[in-house]
Amino acid sequence: MRHIAMTVAALAALTACTTNPAIRSDVVVPSGFTQANGETFRWLATPGGRDLLDVYPPAAMQQELEGYAVLDCVFLDTGRIGDCQIIQESPVGSGFGAAALRLVDRYRYDPVLHADMIGARGRQTVRFVLG
């Protein structure tokens, strides 16, 4: 009986999250990108809560599992990042690394203002937190 109640609660939580992304406003993508030299870089655009909700690993959502992924990426001359690799995922095997990779196209920076960054690599931590 307890298992059924937990399943119903999990389904209710999933339905609430799907129909009302505002519940997920605490899903966080830090606005700072840590460069190889340790300095913080500011973005023009980053993924929002709805973006993270769209890529949140379904198994992690069902288990109410939170976690993060760290990506290592290169700054492109288009104002985007690319050649991203997952360098850390926690918990390991949770799917948060793959989910973070699906968000790469949401990042934008000003390539004119930051011309010195083109071709440089940096790390971005994407945190997946349930409210």
Bridge partners (DSSP) of residue 46 are none
What's the whole-number mean pLDDT along residues 78-82?
95
With 70 as the cut, is the pLDDT of residue 3 above it?
no
DSSP-derived letter for residue 91 is: S
- The answer to pTM > 0.95 is no
What separation in angstroms does the CA of 29 have from each of 38, 48, 84?
A: 18, 7, 16
Alpha-carbon dihedral angle through residues 125, 128, 44, 34, given to the nearest 10 degrees? -10
With 70 as the cut, is the pLDDT of residue 127 above it?
yes
pLDDT computed for residue 117 by the predictor: 86
pLDDT computed for residue 18 by the predictor: 38
pLDDT digits (tens, 9 = 90+) for 56-68: 999 999 999 999 9
| Residues in the chain, total | 131
- Looking at the domain that runs over 2-128, which CATH code has it been given? 3.30.2420.10
What ranges do the domains of the chain cover?
2-128
